[in-house]
Amino acid sequence: MSKYLILVEKTETGYAVQSPDLPGYVATGATREETEQEMREAIEFHIEGLRLKGDEVPKLSSLASYCEVAA
């Protein structure tokens, strides 16, 4: 099991999610939960396709951290 970093953004119509480890893969939805589930399914589908073709699954390289500042 791998944990992919996903970035969740609020949009005018709902949410959008992307993963820095999988450029070009984006999911959108009306709710955060729906959007995250769409992204999970997209990542699983992508990895399955890579394996079926015999391609290597990209290594995870993204890290997340918060920087606290006075605002």
Is it the case that residue 2 has pLDDT exceeding 90? no
Is it the case that residue 17 has pLDDT exceeding 90? yes
The strand ranges marked E within 1-71 are: 7-10, 15-18, 26-29
Residue 51: predicted pLDDT: 95
Is it the case that residue 58 has pLDDT exceeding 90? no
Residue 44: predicted pLDDT: 94
Q: Which of 58, 52, 51 is nearest to 2 (CA)?
A: 58
User: Where does the pLDDT of residue 71 fall: very low under 50, low under 70, confident under 90, or very high at 90 and above?
Assistant: confident
pLDDT mean over 3-25: 94
Structural domains of the chain sorted by starting position, each given as residue range(s) with its CATH number in brackets:
1-71 (3.30.160.250)
